[in-house]
């Protein structure tokens, strides 16, 4: 009690934050869970129907397709989107010319600032079979037939993964570079005195010292794995939906397009549940608590 009194000002400052999260995060979450047990109608009676909505979702093949697509695309983004910026950050760290380093960072970061509407438009344009730069190169330099990348199922997931990685590469790269910058120079000095080469310095100093940053970034990216939506919404088309429709698209389809809020809420609950499970798994695997 004495401690509470002593820090009363700080506790009071926390009130709006707690109220904010209660109102705009936890209240909707609880309402969503409630809806998932109801025959939810826009107006009038909303009777409770037990687990019917969950039963419907579980027995809907589209849901499992969407889950598999989410894990495939989200997993790809998680892994490649983790490794690629790490490699670039390590490479940039070895670059001595600061102007090159700064320019490269800036250029890599710019796509992160653009919305998916812009990025989607850029990719659709670049990959267009008649006027797209990629196909022009394939046709004019390699003499290949144009590929309709955006309408071909065999390319669909790779394009989603590639574009997502490209978009956020700079952002993750900056986080890694910040972690690298925090490593004590004395460690490198000691390694050099022991005769370590540049590669050995990376292998035995940078990577171990960067481990905690890597764990944080990996965990943060895991949290977003099942929530991919904007990108798919912008870049999908009817020819590739079966390969790219993700869980959030499924929820959107059920809730907004079909006005079936009960099943949509049940599907959303699964997203929350799966995210929780994934996060716990990643924490265990990465021994996050040892950060």
Partner 1 sequence: MKKNAVIAMILAGTTLLSACGTNNSGVANSSPYASGTGSPAASADGGKLEILTGNVGGKTPEGNAEFEKELSEKLGLDVTLDKPASDYDQKVLTSLSSGAKYDLIEISDLAKLDVFINQGVVTDLSDFVQNSTVLSDPSVIPTEEWEQVKGPDGKIYGVFSKFQGATMPIIRKDWLEKLNLEEPKTLDELYTVLKAFKEDDPDGDGKANTYGLSTSGLYDIQGIMSAAGLKSRYVMQEGKRTIPYATDAAIPMYEWFAKLVKEGIMDPNFITNDTAKMRNLFLTDRVGMITYWDAWVGMFNNLKKTEDPNTTFQAEGILSIPAADGTILMRRGDPDFWIIPANAPHPEAAKKFLEFWNTQEGITLGSLGVEDFDYTLDNGAYTLTEIGETANMDHGVPYWYNSTVKSPFPALPGVEDAMALSKQYATLELSLSTWPDAEKIVNNYALKAMSGQMAAKDAVAQMQKELKGANLID
Summarize as ranges the residues that interact with partner 1 (CB under 8 A): 8-10, 12-13, 15-17, 19-20, 23-24, 41-44, 61-62, 124, 128-130, 146, 148, 150-153, 237-239, 241-242, 253, 255-259, 261
CB of 172 to partner 1, least distance (A): 27
Those residues whose C-beta lies under 8 Å from the C-beta of residue 285, and which sit 6 or more positions away, are: none
- The smaller minimum CB distance to partner 1, of residues 128 and 275, is found at 128
CB of 209 to partner 1, least distance (A): 37
Handedness of CA 257, 258, 264, 267 (dihedral sign): negative
CB of 152 to partner 1, least distance (A): 7
CB of 24 to partner 1, least distance (A): 6
- The smaller minimum CB distance to partner 1, of residues 44 and 195, is found at 44
- The smaller minimum CB distance to partner 1, of residues 65 and 171, is found at 65
Give the C-alpha distances (Å, rounded to integers) separating 280 from 64, 70, 99, 275, 287.
22, 18, 41, 9, 10
- The smaller minimum CB distance to partner 1, of residues 39 and 101, is found at 39
CB of 245 to partner 1, least distance (A): 8
- The smaller minimum CB distance to partner 1, of residues 58 and 256, is found at 256
- The smaller minimum CB distance to partner 1, of residues 151 and 211, is found at 151
CB of 28 to partner 1, least distance (A): 11
- The smaller minimum CB distance to partner 1, of residues 167 and 254, is found at 254
CB of 60 to partner 1, least distance (A): 9
């Amino acid at each position: 009690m004495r401690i509470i009194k002593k820090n009363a000002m700080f506790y009071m400052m926390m009130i709006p934050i707690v109220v904010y999260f209660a109102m705009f995060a936890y209240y909707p979450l609880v309402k969503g869970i409630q809806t998932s047990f109801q025959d939810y109608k826009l107006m009038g009676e909303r009777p409770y129907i037990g687990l019917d909505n969950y039963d419907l979702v579980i027995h809907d093949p589209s849901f499992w397709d969407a889950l598999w697509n989410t894990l495939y695309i989200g997993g790809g983004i998680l892994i490649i989107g983790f490794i690629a910026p790490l490699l670039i950050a390590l490479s940039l760290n070895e670059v001595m010319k600061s102007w090159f380093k700064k320019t490269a960072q800036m250029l890599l970061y710019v796509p992160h600032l653009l919305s998916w509407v812009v990025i989607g438009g850029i990719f659709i344009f670049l990959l267009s079979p008649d006027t797209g730069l990629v196909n022009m190169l394939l046709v004019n330099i390699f003499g290949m037939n144009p590929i309709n990348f955006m309408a071909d199922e065999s390319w669909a997931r790779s394009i989603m993964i590639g574009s997502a990685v490209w978009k956020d590469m700079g952002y993750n790269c900056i986080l890694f570079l910040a972690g690298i910058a925090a490593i004590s120079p004395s460690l490198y000095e000691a390694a050099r005195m022991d005769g370590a080469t540049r590669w050995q310095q990376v292998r035995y100093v940078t990577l171990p010292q960067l481990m905690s940053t890597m764990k944080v970034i990996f965990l943060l990216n895991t949290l977003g794995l099942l929530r991919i939506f904007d990108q798919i919404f912008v870049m999908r088309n009817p020819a590739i939906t079966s390969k790219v429709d993700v869980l959030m698209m499924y929820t959107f389809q059920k809730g907004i397009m079909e006005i079936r809020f009960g099943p949509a809420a049940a599907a959303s609950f699964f997203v929350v549940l799966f995210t929780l499970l994934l996060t716990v798994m990643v924490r265990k695997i990465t021994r996050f608590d040892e950060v």
